[in-house]
Structure 1
């Protein structure tokens, strides 16, 4: 089938999704799950002919991650996030590194023939959670609001927190020399993290200040806020890439700075996430199904499946449980936080990112396979368990936000 017919089929699928969006949101079939399997099915049936078009699909997913990193970060109030014994702050500062450590130890036991630094790299790739896959549980009215907001804050930020680990371990895995720029690992990581954060912070702050000034003078309104989100995310990413920084990290930091400058005036960011952000997310899962699954799954082995299942069922839950020690949170709630850490777009694109940046990795196909298995199993398992898990909570239980230090997002 020609590319035009394949794209027509994708557009038709998006329209059908819009027609039945509310009904689907009440079912176990989530939007990301639907588009993930649709992409896989379209590829298997020959409806999407990749060839040179695979790069275009990858660029679409890359753009989606850049924009969603910016928007998710802009929606968070960092002052409330780090206040007191904040649940998401604990999960980010303690839970994320513990999950990476546990992933490395489990990988060393299950995949003994892998180089140690590549095991650490895989552990970092498996650590970030996906805000799009978390939406069914976050927005379920039966879930206490403080729990939904905590999960939303964690999933919106932890991909940005995980990225430096991915870059760091990727450099060590190839022997300390980055294949494109041929510089020592510490120089490359310093440029990627330091310049990425600096460039992103400057652009986000300047963009937020200019938008605030334009609002004060009546030159613009919230109707144009979504355009600002798209433009500034792109500017931060491209400027960082041009300046030898990491574009994804720049977009994330730019979102934090942008949201801080516009604190109290950024309702349009939430509207963007719920509209344009949603379509970007589901299209990204279509790309994952059409590109990552067909390329990665043929290299799957049972030890890889065991590692992924351990990551989902044991490693993250234990890491989150330990990170929340001493908070007074009940067993049910701690288990809930531990289980609902679905892996999605960040895991898939971080895997593709390191394979593109580091040609000397020994287990290239295997890393892709682990990422593919993870996204596939996570989309299915977390999608199927969202509704049953919500029933564990009384509809009005735990609405008191003071237990989590107040609202974490800016309204």
Structure 2
């Protein structure tokens, strides 16, 4: 079947999804799950030819990650996130590094023949959670608002927090080769992380300042805010790539700076995430199903499956439990935070990112396989358990003594 018919089938699927979007949002079959399995099925039926379309699909996924990194960062208010004993701040500052550390230790035991830096790289790829797959929980009316907001803030930001770890470990994994054929590894790390963050921060701040100035003078309105998000995310990414920095990190830092300059007048960012951001997300999951699963699953081994299951059932719950020690929340709530950390867009696209950026990795196929099985198992397990887990709470559970952003109050 020609590529045009494959694209037509994808467009038809998007339209059908729009027709039944509300009904699907009330079921266990979320949009990301639907498009993940649709992509896999389209590939199996020959509607998507990897040889001709894989690069184009990868570019679509890359654009989605850049824009969503920028938008998620811009939508978060850091002053509320870090205030006091904030639950999402604890999960980001303590839980994420612990998840990477414990994932590395578990990987060393289950995959003893792997290079150590590549084990650390896999641990970083498996650590971030996915906001799109968390939506059934975040938006369920039975879940206390502060729990949904805490999970939303954590999952929206942890991909940006995990990205430097991914870059560091990827650089160290190929460090010896970079010494010989390109530049010293420490120069490469400095370029990727330092330059990426600097360029992103400057562009995000300047873009936010200019947009604020235009708003104050009546030259623009929120109707054009989504265009600004798309443009600045692209500018930050491309400028960083051109300057030998990391474009993804630049997009994330640019979003933080942009959101800070426009704090209190950036409602259009939330609207962008709910509209244009949604279609980018579901199409990215289609890419994962069409590219990542067919290429990765044939290389899966039982030790890899064991590591992914340990990450979902053991490592994430333990690290979240430790990070929330002393936060004044109950056992049920800690377990709830620990379980609902689905792996999705960031895990898949980070795997594609490192394979594209670090072509000298020795375990390339295996890294892709780990990401594929993690996304597949997580989409199924977290999707099926979302509704039953919501029944553990009622609408007013846990509201007393906690602000809506997950920060403990004095009551």
TM score, norm. by length of structure 2: 0.97
User: Which residue number corresponds to residue 315 of structure 2?
Assistant: 315
1:102–1:315 CA contact under 8 A, matched in 2: yes
Q: Please tell me whether the aligned partners of residues 147 and 406 of structure 2 are also in contact (alpha carbons under 8 angstroms).
A: no
Q: Deviations over 1:324-378 (max 9, x none)?
A: 0011110111111111111111111111111112222111111110000001111
Kept in 2: contact 1:195–1:243 (CA 8 A): yes
Give the 3 Å change call, closer, same or farther, for CA 409–176 of structure 1 in structure 2. Answer: farther
2-side partners of 1:406 and 1:349: how far apart? Answer: 28
C-alpha contact 1:108 1:119 (8 A) present in aligned 2: yes
Contact 1:122 1:367 in 2 (8 A): yes
Give a deviation string over 1:299-344, Cα, whole Å, max 9, x none: 0111100000000111011011100001111011111111111111
Q: Shift in Å at residue 198 of structure 1?
A: 0.7
Q: Is the 8 A contact 2:37 2:289 kept in 1?
A: yes
Cα distance in 2 for residues equivalent to 1:241 and 1:401: 46
Q: 1:136 offset after TM fit, Å?
A: 1.5
Taking a change above 3 Å as real, the CA distance of residues 322 and 258 of structure 1, as seen in their structure-2 partners, is same
Shift of 1:50: 2.3
Q: Is the 8 A contact 2:130 2:156 kept in 1?
A: yes
Local SS of the residue matching 2:403: helix
Q: Is the 8 A contact 1:263 1:410 kept in 2?
A: no
Q: What SS is found at the alignment partner of 1:401?
A: coil
Q: Name the Cα RMSD after superposition.
A: 2.4
Secondary structure of the residue aligned to 2:304 is helix
What do the CA deviations read for 1:78-132 (whole angstroms, capped 9, x no partner)? 0111111111111111100100011011111111111111111100110111111
**What are structure 1's unaligned runs of at least 5 residues?**
none
Verify the 8 A CA contact 1:77 1:409 in the aligned structure 2: no
Cα distance change, pair 287–163 in 1 and its aligned pair in 2 (3 A): same
- Map 1:280-359 onto structure 2 (within 5 A): 280-359=280-359
- Farther-moved stretch of structure 1 (92-101 vs 393-402): 393-402
**Preserved contact between residue 121 and residue 170 of structure 2 (Cα < 8 Å):** yes
Alpha-carbon spacing, 1:3–1:179, altered in 2? closer, same or farther (3 Å): farther
- Alignment-derived partner of residue 175 in structure 1: 175
Q: Given the superposition, is the C-alpha separation of residues 396 and 8 from structure 1 closer, same or farther in structure 2, using an over 3 Å criterion?
A: same
**Partners of 1:186 and 1:60 in 2: CA distance:** 31
Asked whether the equivalents of residues 264 and 410 of structure 1 are also in contact (C-alpha less than 8 Å), the reply is: no
Counterpart contact for 2:108–2:116, Cα < 8 Å: yes
Query: Take 1:284 and 1:178, find their aligned partners in 2: how far apart are those partners?
Result: 31
Runs of 4+ in 1 over 4 A off after TM superposition: 403-411
Q: Secondary structure of 2:202's match? A: helix
Closer/same/farther in 2, CA of residues 234 and 410 from structure 1, 3 Å limit: farther
Deviation at 1:403, TM superposition (A): 4.2
Q: Alpha-carbon deviation of 1:400?
A: 4.8
CA distance in 2, matches of 1:180, 1:248: 26
Shift of 1:174: 1.8
By how many angstroms is 1:212 displaced? 0.8
Q: In the superposition, relative to structure 1, how do residues 390 and 177 fare at CA in structure 2: closer, same or farther (>3 Å)?
A: same
Secondary structure in structure 1 of the residue aligned to 2:79: helix
Residue 350 of structure 1 aligns to a residue whose secondary structure is: helix
Q: Relative to structure 1, is the Cα distance of residues 162 and 303 closer, same or farther in structure 2, using a 3 angstrom cutoff?
A: same
Distance 1:236 1:408 in 2: 36
Residues 346 and 110 of structure 1: CA distance in aligned 2, closer, same or farther (over 3 Å): same
The separation in 2 between residues aligned to 1:293 and 1:401, in whole angstroms, is 44
Report how far residue 398 of structure 1 moved: 2.8
Counterpart-to-counterpart distance in 2, 1:229 and 1:7: 26
Q: Structure 2: any 5+ residue segments left out of the alignment?
A: none
Contact 2:317 2:337 in 1 (8 A): yes
- Indicate the larger mover: 40-49 or 392-401: 392-401
Which deviations, in whole Å up to 9, do the C-alpha atoms of 1:193-223 show, x marking residues without a partner? 1111111111111111111111111111111
What is the CA-CA distance between 1:53 and the residue it aligns to? 1.5
- On the 8 A contact 1:267/1:410 being kept in 2, the answer is no
User: Structure 2: how far apart are the matches of 1:344 and 1:409?
Assistant: 33
